[in-house]
């Protein structure tokens, strides 16, 4: 089956569950997920054996999304880092701590949001004993969109937050200049609104303290906007 080639989706593949990208229910009631939407626990189980791209070979495990199935907002990062790969949970390393602290300052309760990544295996280059993050390529992002679509199909969030360019690419099916468009909401063909912001690891990479503080403040303002959008 062909899915929305205009958004860059391609053949759905041959495994039993097609991506749940059609027939989004009306937002207003936020009632039951569509009948064909697979529960997150089942998706997580299926994804443990994912071989849709070669990244599984070197990673410790698949890091699937986490959060309530009735979350109104889904936050999407790039891919698990070193600590996430070991823990099997998204955003628990340094970027996760920056993310958590900013959410707390913006009064967004992480327990009420669903947090996931565009790519669910850690891609890295070994350097001595260290594993250095390596950006996933377009093919890897495309292959893993299978899972993100299924997560969205199950949760049916009212809002998605793209944390950085890989997430924006995956959610919108095209490259988005994140620094130019941060703070904006872009609506997808299926009606899902996607809020664009930076990846929190960008803040960690800034060395100059004043610049770091300023970027952290901008990210906090973005999270405050998300909080307001959640309330709409």
Neighbours of 75 (CB within 10 A): 29
Q: Are 37 and 153 in contact (CB under 8 A)?
A: yes
Query: Which residue number has the CB closest to ligand URA?
Result: 77
Q: Which residues have CB under 8 Å from 78's CB, separation 6+?
A: 117, 118, 119, 135, 136, 163, 164, 166, 167, 199
Nearer to ligand URA, 37 or 226 (CB): 226
- Contact with ligand URA (CB under 6 A) among 72, 84, 215, 222: 84
- Binding of ligand URA at residue 95 (CB under 6 A)? yes
| Stretch 23-82 residues interacting with ligand URA (CB under 6 A) | 77-81
Closest distance to ligand URA from the beta carbon of 216 (Å): 16
Q: Does 157 bind ligand URA (CB under 6 A)?
A: no
- Taking CB under 6 A as the binding criterion, the range among 7-15, 90-98, 139-147, 168-176 that sits at the site for ligand URA is 90-98
Q: Which stretch binds ligand URA (CB under 6 A): 3-11, 64-72, 87-95, 212-220?
A: 87-95
The footprint of ligand URA on this chain (CB under 6 A) covers a number of residues equal to 14
Least distance from ligand URA to the Cβ atom of residue 61, Å: 13
Element (H, E) at 45: helix 40-47
> Shortest distance, CB of residue 191 to ligand URA, whole angstroms?
25
Residue 229 tokens read as: 């959008």
Calpha distance 121→100 (Å, rounded): 21
Q: What is the DSSP letter of 18?
A: -
Is 153 a residue that touches ligand URA (CB under 6 A)?
no
Residue 169 binding ligand URA, by CB under 6 A: no
CB of 231: closest distance to ligand URA in angstroms? 26
Q: Which residue has the tokens 């793209």?
A: 162
Closest CA to 161 of 113, 119, 121, 112: 113
CA dihedral 204, 174, 83, 99 (to 10 degrees): 50
Chain residues binding ligand URA by CB under 6 A are 77-81, 84, 90-91, 93, 95-96, 117, 199, 201
């Amino acid at each position: 089956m062909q899915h929305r080639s205009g958004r860059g989706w391609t053949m759905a593949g041959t495994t039993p569950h097609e991506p749940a990208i059609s027939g989004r229910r009306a937002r207003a009631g936020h009632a039951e997920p569509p009948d064909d939407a697979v529960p997150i626990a089942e998706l997580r189980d299926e994804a443990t054996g994912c071989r849709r791209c070669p990244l599984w070979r070197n990673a410790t495990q698949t890091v699937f999304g986490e959060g309530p199935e009735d979350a109104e907002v889904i936050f999407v990062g790039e891919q698990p880092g070193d600590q996430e790969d070991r823990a099997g949970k998204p955003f628990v390393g340094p970027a996760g701590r920056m993310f958590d602290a900013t959410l707390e300052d913006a009064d967004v309760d992480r327990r009420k949001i669903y947090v996931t990544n565009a790519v669910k295996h850690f891609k890295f280059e070994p350097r001595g004993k260290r594993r250095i993050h390596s950006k996933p390529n377009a093919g890897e992002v495309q292959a893993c969109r299978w899972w993100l679509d299924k997560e969205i199909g199950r949760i049916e969030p009212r809002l998605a937050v793209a944390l950085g360019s890989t997430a924006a690419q995956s959610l919108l099916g095209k490259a988005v200049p994140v620094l130019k468009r941060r703070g904006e909401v872009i609506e997808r063909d299926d009606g899902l609104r996607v809020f664009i912001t930076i990846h929190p690891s960008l803040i960690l990479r800034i060395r100059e303290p004043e610049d770091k503080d300023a970027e952290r403040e901008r990210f906090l303002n973005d999270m405050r906007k998300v909080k307001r959008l959640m309330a709409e």
